[in-house]
Amino acid sequence: MAGNILVTRKLPGNAIDELAERYNVEVWDREEKISRYELKRKIKDKDALICLLADKIDREVIDSAPNLKIIANYAVGYDNIDVEYATRKGIYVTNTPDVLTDATAELAWALLFAVARRLREADMFLREGKFKGWEPELFLGKEVTGSRIGVIGAGRIGRSFMKKGKGFDIKWCYYSRTRKNDLEVEFNARFVDTLTMFERCDFVSLHVPLTDETYHLIKKEHFDRSNGRVILINTARGAVVDEEEMIKALYDGRLRGAGLDVFEKEPYVPPSLMNLSNVVLLPHIGSATHRTREKMAEMVAKNVDMALKGHIPPNLVNKELLEK
């Protein structure tokens, strides 16, 4: 066998089984997720790690794996990994971009519509037997067509989200690290700062990665400006938003509603959020389609295979390693 691989969860599709034909693969297949203790113990003799965004791969975990050559994250976001330390140790870090872009952008729209048109409340109402016939004022919501939407983070998913909105006559604005001329031409999108966005938009959708710079990027000042109009959609990472301030703004009406797939301290979801009717809460399912999750498994397998064969893995995050 050319290498020992640890996979911290059973993944959809056949990619890991195929990898196991060529390598020594150990899959953590228990009901509960792998504990930190078990992770540190099992990684000791491994050359490669395939892990989830819920696995914290910090310095201590990395230090328990003297032979580790690659950490292949089964996600596009990699804020769960101490990439800087991995780089110092000469370990490749890879992710799964592109294959989950459509699925995640779709989910952002699903949340947006669900909150705007009050699907969760209306569904509950019907199931509780309260539907007594058509009513002129039953569950009036916010019309999406013709609305003004702000996108924060005009990368793969942010752009795909915009592209999928064609047909809804959206007035777009966006904010990103750098200006995107093509978006300004194709979507007539205006580049605005994030505070202005909360003043002017009906919806704001977040698509930035979680980094030191984007931690609590959306905070009290934004909600103070939003004047009861904005519906916030977050399929990025919980900690991009100051969750406590967001909850206050949802309670006192500065924010009109929120559609959330991610939370600051996942899997913990504050009970105060659960009590709100103007929010839709999902258990981090942005990329959760059969097709996407199988492709993600193929990608982590490919990255590991390449690294263990001594090649550069195709979805390398820490490209600085190539300069060494």
Token code pair at residue 284: 């981090």
By beta-carbon proximity to ligand NAP, the closer residue of 65 and 105 is 105
User: Is 320 an active-site residue?
Assistant: no
At closest approach, how far in Å is the CB of 125 from ligand GLV? Answer: 17
The active-site residue, picked from 237, 254, 256, 293, is: 237
How far apart (Å, rounded) are the C-alpha atoms in residues 6 and 79? 20
Taking CB under 6 A as the rule, does residue 286 contact ligand GLV? yes
Three-class SS of 201-220? CCEEEECCCCCCCCCCCECH
Q: If binding means CB under 6 A, how many residues of this protein chain bind ligand GLV?
A: 7
Mind giving me the DSSP string for 56-92?
A: -B-HHHHHT-TT--EEEESSS--TTB-HHHHHHTT-E
The active-site residue, picked from 200, 222, 254, 284, is: 284
How far apart (Å, rounded) are the C-alpha atoms in residues 241 and 219? 6
By beta-carbon proximity to ligand NAP, the closer residue of 4 and 104 is 104
Taking CB under 6 A as the rule, does residue 238 contact ligand GLV? no
Q: Which residues pair with 205 in a beta bridge?
A: 151, 233
By beta-carbon proximity to ligand NAP, the closer residue of 8 and 80 is 80
257 binds, among ligand NAP, ligand GLV, none (CB under 5 to 8 A by kind): none
207 binds, among ligand NAP, ligand GLV, none (CB under 5 to 8 A by kind): ligand NAP
Binding string to ligand GLV for residues 46 to 85, with x set by CB under 6 A, is what? -------x---------------------xxx--------
157 binds, among ligand GLV, ligand NAP, none (CB under 5 to 8 A by kind): ligand NAP
How far apart (Å, rounded) are the C-alpha atoms in residues 222 and 197? 9
Three-class SS of 29-41? CCCCCCCHHHHHH
The active-site residue, picked from 186, 244, 266, 294, is: 266
User: Is 184 an active-site residue?
Assistant: no
Q: Which residues contact 308 (CB under 8 A, 6 or more apart)?
A: 2, 3, 5, 23, 47, 48, 69, 70
**Contact positions vs ligand NAP (CB under 6 A):** 76-77, 97, 100, 104, 153-158, 176-178, 207-211, 213-214, 235-237, 261-262, 284, 286-287
User: Roughly how many angstroms between the first and final C-alpha of the chain, as a whole number?
Assistant: 28
Neighbours of 44 (CB within 10 A): 13
Considering only CA atoms, which of 246, 300, 304, 315 is closest in space to residue 53?
A: 300
Taking CB under 6 A as the rule, does residue 91 contact ligand GLV? no
User: Is 266 an active-site residue?
Assistant: yes
Which residues of this protein are in contact with ligand GLV, per CB under 6 A? 53, 75-77, 100, 286-287
**Residues known to be catalytic:** 237, 266, 284
